[in-house]
Each structure stands twice: as structure tokens, then as C-alpha cells.
């Protein structure tokens, strides 16, 4: 499955980029995320509870960052496993400074799923992924605003 899209943040490029590299910010942004801990510079371990159509199940996994090119782009790799199957994905994220305190996020990636997740949930996963990304970005926008205000 391929995911692709963009989102415009109201905030400076560096701040947006930093947020994407901050496990705490990500953890609160992803719906259902139960924990996210940093293992080293580029690796995080997390647990998430997902609801996809008829399936609701816990997944554990690793998120890693590569091709790090602050504050413009990086690649996110995820690998998760749970009772309802597994998921593996790569996402390339790019941040473009639009000026006017606006930053555009472009993302494109590929997710492979297996197990019950694939055999029963695949019909829904597309829309679930889209809505997760959308609400994740909205959450991050709020965090961003808070951060900018604090500064």
C-alpha cells in the first residue's frame, strides 16, 4: 500500500523538523500510541493500539530514522508486530519552507502488512492510515503552536 500527501504547518521549518525527531511529540500525536522510548540516536521503541475495521489489537515495534538531513528531510522506517499481524513501512518526509512562517510537509511511503491485518483489515487500512496521518498532523500543529508560544 502506498501513502502520499502533504500538510502545511504554521511554524518555522526547523521547529517542524525538530518535532518530527522528538519521540514525545510523535508519541502524543499518533492516535493509539501507548509508549515511545528512544533507544539510541536514531531508534525508538514503541507500542500502539490500533483499531482497523473489525480488528483492534496491540502492536509493538521499532521506529528508526535514516537519511537525516536537517531541517529538510529524513526517512522514517517502521516495523511492528502484534497478535493481529505485522506491518513494515518506509516513509520519506520532506519539509519545505514556504516563508510566512509556514512549512510544507510532503510525505510518501510504502507500507506492507500481513496476517489478520491484511486478510481482514486491508479494505479499511487505507482510510485508517489517511485519517491517522491527518489527525496526527493536526495534533502536531497544536504542539507546534504551544512550543512556539512558550518560546
Closer of 123 and 130 to other proteins (Cβ):
123
Please report whether residue 58 would count as binding other proteins according to CB under 8 A.
no
**Residue found by looking up cell 512558550 in the block:** 150
Least distance (Å) from other proteins to the CB of residue 85?
Answer: 5
Closer of 11 and 80 to other proteins (Cβ):
80
Please report whether residue 83 would count as binding other proteins according to CB under 8 A.
yes
- Of 37, 54, 68, 134, the one binding other proteins (CB under 8 A) is 54
For residues 91-130, which are near other proteins according to CB under 8 A?
Answer: 112-116, 118-120, 122-123
Q: Where is 137: in which H helix or E strand? A: helix 122-150
Q: Applying CB under 8 A, what is the total number of residues that bind other proteins?
A: 14
What are the beta bridge partners of residue 91?
76, 109
Closer of 54 and 70 to other proteins (Cβ):
54
Contacts with other proteins, residue ranges (CB under 8 A): 54, 83, 85-86, 112-116, 118-120, 122-123
Amino acid at each position: 500500500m502506498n501513502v502520499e500527501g502533504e500538510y502545511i504547518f504554521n511554524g518555522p521549518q526547523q521547529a517542524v523538523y525538530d518535532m518530527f525527531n522528538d519521540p514525545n511529540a510523535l508519541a502524543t500525536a499518533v492516535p493509539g500510541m501507548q509508549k515511545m522510548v528512544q533507544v539510541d540516536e536514531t531508534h525508538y521503541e514503541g507500542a500502539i493500539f490500533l483499531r482497523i475495521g473489525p480488528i483492534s489489537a496491540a502492536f509493538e515495534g521499532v521506529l528508526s530514522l535514516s537519511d537525516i538531513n536537517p531541517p529538510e528531510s529524513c526517512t522514517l522506517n517502521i516495523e511492528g508486530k502484534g497478535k493481529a499481524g505485522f506491518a513494515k513501512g518506509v516513509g520519506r518526509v520532506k519539509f519545505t519552507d514556504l516563508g510566512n512562517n509556514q512549512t510544507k510537509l510532503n510525505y510518501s511511503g510504502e507500507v506492507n502488512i500481513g496476517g489478520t491485518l491484511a486478510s481482514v483489515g486491508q479494505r479499511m487500512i487505507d482510510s485508517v492510515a489517511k485519517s491517522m496521518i491527518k489527525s496526527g498532523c493536526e495534533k502536531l500543529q497544536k504542539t507546534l503552536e504551544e512550543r512556539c508560544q512558550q518560546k
